[in-house]
Structure 1
Amino acid sequence: MMQALRALLHGSSFLLLGVAGLVQAAPQHAITLYDEAPKYPASYQHFDYVNPAAPKGGTLRLANYGGFDSLNPFIPKGNVESRIGMIYDSLTYHSPDEPFTEYGLLAEKIEKAPDNGYVRFYLNPKARFHDGKPVTAEDVEFTFGMLMQHGDPMYRNYYADVDKVVVEGPLKVRFDFKHKGNRELPLILGQLQVVPKHWWQGRDFSKTSLEIPLGSGPYRVASLESGRTIRYERVKDWWGKDLPVSRGQYNFDAIVVDYYRDMSVALEAFKGGQFDLNLEYSAKDWATGYQSAALTDGRMMKEAVPNHNPVGMQAFAFNIRRPVFQDRRVREAISLLFDFEWSNKQLFFGSYKRTTSYFENSEMAAHQPPSPAELKILEPLRDKLPAEVFDQVFSLPVTQGDGIIRDQKRRAYQLLQEAGYRIENDRMVGPDGKPLAFEFMLFQTNMERILLPYKRNLSELGIDMQIRRVDASQFINRLRSRDFDITSATWGQSSSPGNEQREFWHSSSADNPGSRNFIGLRDPAIDQLVEGLIRADSRQSLIDHARALDRALQWGYYVVPNYYVDTWRLAYWNKFGRPEKTPLYDYGLMTWWLKSDQAQAATPAAAVAKDGE
């Protein structure tokens, strides 16, 4: 971007201010969102949630679902192999033990402008791709250009405020921003996974491919069978193995990922010893699916590890591009007929909590009346937002869990009547004379047992919901092309939300194939709330803006909120060593190591102690 000091300045009248900014900036080993001190000082040797003396060796076997047909994770095409990111290094390493701190990886030093008008990365001269060629500033520039030109639309949203990239030297690169004050953008740019310019020149970055790509990370792809299995091997002479961010991590010599049709098939494979660790998503399977002699004698372990991350929103998402869902009253009526309490009792063994916030499980969730600071943010939008945003706390109906939801049906019918609907021949018919009917798209078979009771509740009010199950590839393609009525979706949140909110809710992402604006939101008020959150200049301001945005989304009834659990439910064979401490925001799998090729029996008491039920 800027070639010299004068290029940094946008006019001679800003000369003294620009010089002052450069004087204040200094390269750091880590950067934080609000310039608070990082947890680990420049002299740190390793993170305190690792065992720096962990032994290396052995094979970790994992599972995934549906198959894969691409090793290019950067584009909005294909079904990408889930762990291909392990072959790449990023400019910085995001600490899973802090809300938002980035430590140097490819970049040994990072320099932020005091006004957040630019960020400069000083690359580590030891950094190498797997073919031995150095990682340079030109590779960084090339990567950024490819992502902006051919990458997933989320990159264009994430990096929208980048004005230009300047290669200042072989190992020095600077990103200039269009606007000052974007505190998150330097950290987001630090997460850039750098690809080798010399390898990609002559190849089409925009195409899916199963050609094994060249990276610089701790693992490389050793072999694969398309859609079925992939084997990663540890790069034993990896340039970054002795860095403080890496010490005690990446301890397995090989990681093999096998693909299964769905989670039910994978569970049986896990119990048969076909892979080593299963991250369980099904409450039923967690409660009853692992009962076995191996669990009793401690060869198999179950553990619920506390998850301190915001869980975001998991929900049935309306595609409001469809005319049938453009009336808020219709969306609210449909959402009223999902009986969470019955499902939790009958299907989930009482293990879930109801999601009511887009920032659930965090201090950013709007679970209380709006504060004066939030009202100050919301007030200019009063005529553009539902009135409830300003004086009510969003809540969802709570049933007795007995399957009787008369009150909810009565309220839903009232809302539909207000929207011009009526009952004709036992069908709910709209003002246009068309029945209220839509299709629910899914690809996981275990979702059907959740949807069938919901379908029954809807049908009792004359609403026709058809369940359409598709394979994983078709699901991804239809989701990207917005070819669905309603589907299951999740929007994960970090402890410091920011630029990614544009990809979730902003008008600019509504027509981008592959963005996470599944709903099709095009609301100027929500756009303004998103931009205000991104520009928040303190932690408290971020919380206030997140809650304000949360209220606008809640009262829009854009989704049917589902449920969440605030733990990682892990089942694994007893063959691993683990550090004494687990990071706050992860379960730390890459800090584990193999103690034995075979699962070891433990005493029944030890097995029970690990059982997280």
Structure 2
Amino acid sequence: MGAFAGLSALPAHADDDAPLITSHGYSFYGDLSYPADYPHFNYVNPEAPKGGEISIARLGTFDSMNPYSRKGRGGLLSTVMYESLLGEGTGGEAAPADVYSEYYCLLCESLEYPETKDWVIFRMRPEARFSNGDPVTAHDIAFSHNLLLEQGLKSYADYVRRQIPKVEVLDDHTIKFYFTEGISRRSLIEQVGGVPAWSKKWYEESGARLDESRLEVSPGSGPYMIDDVDVNRRIVYKRNPDYWGNDLPFNVGRNNFDAIRVEYFGDENAAFEAFKSGEYTFRDEGNSKQWATGYDFPKVTDGYVVKDEIADGAPATPNGIIFNLGREVLQDKRVREAIALAYNFEWTNESLQYGLFKQRASFTQDTPLMATGTPQGAELALLQRLGDVVDPAMLTDEVRMPHTSKPERLLDRRNARAASKLLDAAGWTVGDNGKRVNADGVPLKITFLLNSSGSATLSATVENFMSNLEAFGIEAVLEKVDSSQYTARERDRDYDLVYDQYAAFLGTGTGLSQRYGSEAAEFSLFNPAGLASPMVDAIIEASLRAETREEERAAMTALDRALRHEFIMIPLWYKDVYWTAYYDQYAHPEEQPAYALGYLDFWWYDADKAEKLRTSGALR
């Protein structure tokens, strides 16, 4: 499909000399893969039957069905009821999942904008309805946008206010957003196109607030709605039989299950035993020990449970042990580097993870955007143009790579010696009791906040890491807390180290500033390290002003290099496949799209296979 498929230039408005573009979707460069008359996404099965249930597990607890507030712990998939002008996949996955940075109309029929992208008009589908039968109108979209600014997360609201100064309802099904002059046009159209549509009428009649913890929810326009909530035990979402958008090309072959059930468990062992007994039916496995040794129970050997590896084309999630840069002791990069040397990936992978992982180095791992060697060509030219904000060493040094360790023993003596030199240089010397102290005799103490409901493998990894820190003379304190305490303390950044993640990227966007930028660094939930780097800010800004894909790629590679240089986390491990296990009653397309596993989105239920499972006694 050619570039600019489905786009057309319209005559200019009388008060605007710039030609207008109207389209069924949006990408910054205008090159949409799907034409206006696409029948369905390429990877779906358009004949997929509707029916059945898929059930999954969640560790921990929940006490709210409002995930948009800092208060409470939102239930899994509690955004699934809500749609936006430009659609997304079930559970927030990409849709379409075979392309990147392309967005297609769902609540809208079309969008219109000038070449300058100074504003955008969305023309909505008049047939769109909330689950209670009320129409979804432009008034609801404007209300939702403003509600996020007034009662949503501060980091989001502060940022969006500066970008989008005005929203105007032109009629019941037409809405216009204006963008601030002189700023990058990146991510603005998809930003407003991605706002969840909430019912203005429901909020005004109920008096509910977006910033409160609550179990009652507003009606959504999406294919699923809440069927049952049992706090800390279970959530059931059912497919809306009257869903207005069933026959849209955007939805053909998707939203196939009649019900999605989420079962909550206190720990991983309980969850896995429940899967074996058939209490739930699908696992996206993340525990290497479980994957290597746990799936030898009879239902697997008898063929009732499928164990499958499915290719994952998305960049690995940048997770790891994150440093709280708000702690004075961790603002010295030498201390961070010394702490990192306590992590032995090779020993961990061989001894705890059955050799199933690779060590992650990059924020764009295994993609063309991953920085390698020294900067060259367009990337080097960009870094040089940015001037003094760029550390000169970045221009000549090899990109930061994770240290290596010997797998034979947990404590690598070579790394221990290197850590000792770094700590000495940073002013943390060994006292009479063998512990590291500063010039005032204050000991070097590091606390690690860990969710007690996490995997046993992660817990063992952290415990061994802390053991090595003790061997370095650091007072290492591991604080395991339950899910609710963990959520509260993480939001307050009450930790020195934490296991968490950032977002991978394959292109630029204003979301990069929310995740990696300085302005909201002190409080942003998306920036757990509290990174505030003028160099990173400048690279993000340069990426937002890129006018070609080549310039954008150079900036993204430079951003990966800069983030690794700033050293905000100890990268741990990754895999390039999904580990899936499920009762043999589901099917999925033969051609897996690159950017989503999609088991809640475009898989489907096989009623004949399900009946065989029940007849055999494998499932009740």
| TM-score under structure 1 length normalisation | 0.91
Aligned partner of 1:431 in structure 2 is 439
Aligned partner of 1:592 in structure 2 is 603
Q: Secondary structure at the match of 1:320?
A: coil
In 2: Cα distance, 1:388 partner to 1:26 partner: 44
Give CA deviations for 1:25-59 in whole Å, capped at 9, x if unaligned: 232111113111x2211111111212222211122
Q: How does 1:339-350 map to 2 (within 5 A)?
A: 339-350=344-355
Aligned partner of 1:275 in structure 2 is 280
After alignment, is 452-461 or 193-202 more displaced? 452-461
Deviation at 1:346, TM superposition (A): 0.7
In 2: Cα distance, 1:147 partner to 1:567 partner: 36
Matched, 1:338 2:343: yes
Deviation at 1:18, TM superposition (A): 6.2
Equivalent of 2:238, from 211, 215, 233?
A: 233
Aligned partner of 1:210 in structure 2 is 215
In 2: Cα distance, 1:108 partner to 1:168 partner: 15
Q: How does 1:315-326 map to 2 (within 5 A)?
A: 315-326=320-331
Deviation at 1:356, TM superposition (A): 1.1
Gaps of 5+ in 1: 1-14, 602-613
Aligned partner of 1:302 in structure 2 is 307
Matched, 1:59 2:50: no
Matched, 1:395 2:401: yes
Matched, 1:243 2:254: no
Q: Secondary structure at the match of 2:21?
A: coil
Deviation at 1:237, TM superposition (A): 1.2
Q: Secondary structure at the match of 2:36?
A: coil
Aligned partner of 2:582 in structure 1 is 572
Aligned partner of 2:70 in structure 1 is 76
Q: How does 1:341-380 map to 2 (within 5 A)?
A: 341-380=346-385
The one-letter code of the counterpart of 2:172 is P
Deviation at 1:245, TM superposition (A): 0.6
Aligned partner of 1:31 in structure 2 is 26
Aligned partner of 1:498 in structure 2 is 509
In 2: Cα distance, 1:153 partner to 1:350 partner: 42
Deviation at 1:195, TM superposition (A): 0.5
- Asked if 1 retains the 8 angstrom alpha-carbon contact of 2:26 and 2:102, the reply is yes
Could you tell me the percent identity over the aligned residues?
33
- Asked if 2 retains the 8 angstrom alpha-carbon contact of 1:352 and 1:563, the reply is yes
Aligned partner of 2:169 in structure 1 is 167
In 2: Cα distance, 1:467 partner to 1:18 partner: 64
Aligned partner of 1:481 in structure 2 is 492
Give CA deviations for 1:530-577 in whole Å, capped at 9, x if unaligned: 222233322222221122122222122221111111111111110113
- Asked if 1 retains the 8 angstrom alpha-carbon contact of 2:21 and 2:113, the reply is yes
Deviation at 1:383, TM superposition (A): 4.1
Deviation at 1:381, TM superposition (A): 4.9
- Asked if 2 retains the 8 angstrom alpha-carbon contact of 1:388 and 1:555, the reply is no
- Asked if 2 retains the 8 angstrom alpha-carbon contact of 1:115 and 1:181, the reply is no
Aligned partner of 1:86 in structure 2 is 80
Q: How does 1:13-52 map to 2 (within 5 A)?
A: 19-21=16-18, 24-36=19-31, 38-52=32-46
Deviation at 1:374, TM superposition (A): 1.7
Q: How does 1:399-548 map to 2 (within 5 A)?
A: 399-403=405-409, 404-424=411-431, 425-443=433-451, 444-446=454-456, 447-512=458-523, 514-548=524-558
- Asked if 1 retains the 8 angstrom alpha-carbon contact of 2:428 and 2:438, the reply is yes
The one-letter code of the counterpart of 1:454 is F
Aligned partner of 1:132 in structure 2 is 133
- Asked if 2 retains the 8 angstrom alpha-carbon contact of 1:361 and 1:566, the reply is no
In 2: Cα distance, 1:185 partner to 1:312 partner: 24
Q: Secondary structure at the match of 2:306?
A: strand
Closer, same or farther: CA 96–316 of 1 in aligned 2, 3 Å: same
After alignment, is 541-550 or 312-321 more displaced? 541-550
Q: Secondary structure at the match of 1:68?
A: coil
Closer, same or farther: CA 42–301 of 1 in aligned 2, 3 Å: same
In 2: Cα distance, 1:127 partner to 1:322 partner: 50
In 1: Cα distance, 2:158 partner to 2:517 partner: 9
Aligned partner of 2:618 in structure 1 is none
- Asked if 2 retains the 8 angstrom alpha-carbon contact of 1:118 and 1:177, the reply is yes
- Asked if 2 retains the 8 angstrom alpha-carbon contact of 1:577 and 1:593, the reply is yes
- Asked if 2 retains the 8 angstrom alpha-carbon contact of 1:459 and 1:465, the reply is yes
Deviation at 1:154, TM superposition (A): 4.8
In 2: Cα distance, 1:223 partner to 1:95 partner: 29
Deviation at 1:76, TM superposition (A): 2.3
Give CA deviations for 1:151-209 in whole Å, capped at 9, x if unaligned: 12353366341121111111111111114542322123222211010001122222110
Give CA deviations for 1:189-242 in whole Å, capped at 9, x if unaligned: 222211010001122222110013211100111111112111111111111000
The one-letter code of the counterpart of 1:502 is S
Aligned partner of 1:116 in structure 2 is 117
In 1: Cα distance, 2:15 partner to 2:499 partner: 49
The one-letter code of the counterpart of 2:48 is A
- Asked if 2 retains the 8 angstrom alpha-carbon contact of 1:299 and 1:574, the reply is yes
Gaps of 5+ in 2: 1-11, 88-94, 614-620
- Asked if 1 retains the 8 angstrom alpha-carbon contact of 2:346 and 2:407, the reply is yes
Number of aligned residues: 583
Q: Secondary structure at the match of 2:560?
A: helix
In 1: Cα distance, 2:318 partner to 2:467 partner: 24
